[in-house]
Structure 1
Amino acid sequence: MTVLIICNGYPSTLEPNIYIFIHRQALALKKAGYNVVILDIDLRSFRWKRKYGCYFEKYEGIEVYRISFPFVTTMFPRIYKFLNVQIGLKLFDKIIKKVGKIDLINAHFVKGAGQAAIAIKKKHNKLVVITEHSSKIMMDCNKLVEQFIPYYKAADKVIVVSEALKVKLERYGITCKTIANVIDTSIFKVIEHGDKNSSFTYLSVGNLIYRKRFDLTIRAFCKLHEKYKNTNLIIVGEGPLDSQLKLLAEKLKINSVTFIGGIDNNMMSELYNKCDCFVLPSDYETFGVVYAEAISCGIPAIAADNGGSKEIIDERNGLIVPRDDINALYKALEVMYESKSKYNKYKLHKIIENKFGEMRFVNQIEELYIELVSRVK
Structure 2
Amino acid sequence: MKKKILYIQPYASHVGGVDSVLLQLIDGLNKNIYEPFVVLPNQSPYVEKYQKLGATVLFEPLAVFGKPTSWKYYIENFYILIKSIGRLKKIVKNHKIDLIHSHKMELMGGNIVGKILNVPTVQTIHELPRNPLIAYKAVGYLNHLFNDAVIVLCNRSKSVMEWGRLKSNKVRKIYNGISIKDNNPLGSNIREELNLSKEDKIAITVARLSPMKGIEFLLDAANELKKENPNLKFVIIGDVAFEHEKEYKEVLINKSKKLNLEGTVFFLGLRRDVPSLLNQSDIFILPSVYDIFPTVILEAMSCSIPIVGTDVGGVPEMVRNNTGIIVPASDSRKLAQGVKEILNNDYKLMGKNGRELLEREFTQEKYVSQTVEIYEGLLKIGDSYE
8 Å CA contact 1:88–1:117 kept in 2: the answer is yes
Q: 2:288 aligns with which of 275, 282, 293?
A: 282
- Measured in 1, the distance between the counterparts of 2:139 and 2:119 equals 23
- Measured in 2, the distance between the counterparts of 1:187 and 1:139 equals 41
Q: 1:3 aligns with which of 2, 5, 10?
A: 5
Q: Secondary structure at the match of 1:343?
A: helix
Q: CA deviation at 1:224?
A: 0.4
Q: 1:111 aligns with which of 103, 106, 120?
A: 106
Residue number in structure 2 paired with 1:127: 120
Residue number in structure 2 paired with 1:361: 367
Which amino acid is the alignment partner of residue 299 of structure 2?
E
Q: CA deviation at 1:351?
A: 1.2
Q: CA deviation at 1:24?
A: 1.5
- Measured in 2, the distance between the counterparts of 1:342 and 1:40 equals 42
Determine what percentage of the aligned residue pairs are the same residue: 22
Which amino acid is the alignment partner of residue 26 of structure 2?
A
For residues 206-239 of structure 1, the C-alpha deviation after alignment (integer angstroms, 9 at most, x for no partner) is: 2222221111011001110111111111112222
- Measured in 2, the distance between the counterparts of 1:138 and 1:180 equals 21
For residues 225-274 of structure 1, the C-alpha deviation after alignment (integer angstroms, 9 at most, x for no partner) is: 1111111111122221111111111110011211122234xx32112111
Q: Secondary structure at the match of 2:365?
A: helix
- Measured in 2, the distance between the counterparts of 1:30 and 1:7 equals 21
RMSD: 3.2
Q: Indicate how the Cα distance of structure 1 residues 237 and 88 shifts in structure 2: closer, same or farther if over 3 A, else same.
A: farther
For residues 304-353 of structure 1, the C-alpha deviation after alignment (integer angstroms, 9 at most, x for no partner) is: 11131111001121100122222211111112222354426444222112
Q: Indicate how the Cα distance of structure 1 residues 244 and 146 shifts in structure 2: closer, same or farther if over 3 A, else same.
A: same
Which amino acid is the alignment partner of residue 11 of structure 2?
G
- Normalising by structure 1, we get a TM-score of 0.84
- Equivalent runs, 1:137-216 vs 2, <5 Å: 137=129, 141-171=133-163, 173-175=167-169, 176-186=171-181, 197-216=198-217
1:87 aligns with 2:84: yes
8 Å CA contact 1:138–1:165 kept in 2: the answer is no
- Measured in 2, the distance between the counterparts of 1:233 and 1:372 equals 47
Residue number in structure 2 paired with 1:227: 228
Residue number in structure 2 paired with 1:350: 356
Q: CA deviation at 1:281?
A: 2.3
Q: Secondary structure at the match of 2:304?
A: coil
Which amino acid is the alignment partner of residue 297 of structure 1?
C
Instruction: Decide which moves more: 211-220 or 330-339.
Output: 330-339
User: Which runs of 5 or more residues in structure 2 are unaligned?
Assistant: 192-196
- Measured in 1, the distance between the counterparts of 2:132 and 2:288 equals 15
For residues 53-104 of structure 1, the C-alpha deviation after alignment (integer angstroms, 9 at most, x for no partner) is: x9998244322112479x997221332243245235314514643xx32111
Count of paired positions: 357
Q: Indicate how the Cα distance of structure 1 residues 17 and 151 shifts in structure 2: closer, same or farther if over 3 A, else same.
A: closer
Q: 1:251 aligns with which of 251, 258, 278?
A: 258
- Equivalent runs, 1:304-343 vs 2, <5 Å: 304-343=310-349
Residue number in structure 2 paired with 1:61: 54
- Measured in 2, the distance between the counterparts of 1:10 and 1:330 equals 36
8 Å CA contact 1:56–1:66 kept in 2: the answer is no
- Measured in 2, the distance between the counterparts of 1:161 and 1:284 equals 14
- Measured in 2, the distance between the counterparts of 1:10 and 1:189 equals 28
1:29 aligns with 2:26: no
Q: Indicate how the Cα distance of structure 1 residues 376 and 363 shifts in structure 2: closer, same or farther if over 3 A, else same.
A: same
User: Which runs of 5 or more residues in structure 1 are unaligned?
Assistant: 43-48
Residue number in structure 1 paired with 2:276: 270
Q: CA deviation at 1:29?
A: 2.0
For residues 130-171 of structure 1, the C-alpha deviation after alignment (integer angstroms, 9 at most, x for no partner) is: 000014x25663323324422332211111011221244334
- Measured in 2, the distance between the counterparts of 1:191 and 1:336 equals 26
8 Å CA contact 2:115–2:146 kept in 1: the answer is no
8 Å CA contact 1:9–1:18 kept in 2: the answer is no
Residue number in structure 1 paired with 2:194: none
Which amino acid is the alignment partner of residue 202 of structure 2?
T
- Measured in 2, the distance between the counterparts of 1:68 and 1:59 equals 23
Runs of 4+ aligned residues of structure 1 deviating over 6 Å after TM superposition are: 54-57, 187-193
Which amino acid is the alignment partner of residue 80 of structure 1?
N
8 Å CA contact 2:137–2:162 kept in 1: the answer is no
Which amino acid is the alignment partner of residue 116 of structure 1?
G
8 Å CA contact 1:306–1:323 kept in 2: the answer is yes
8 Å CA contact 1:6–1:38 kept in 2: the answer is yes
For residues 101-150 of structure 1, the C-alpha deviation after alignment (integer angstroms, 9 at most, x for no partner) is: 211100001213xx111231233221110000014x25663323324422
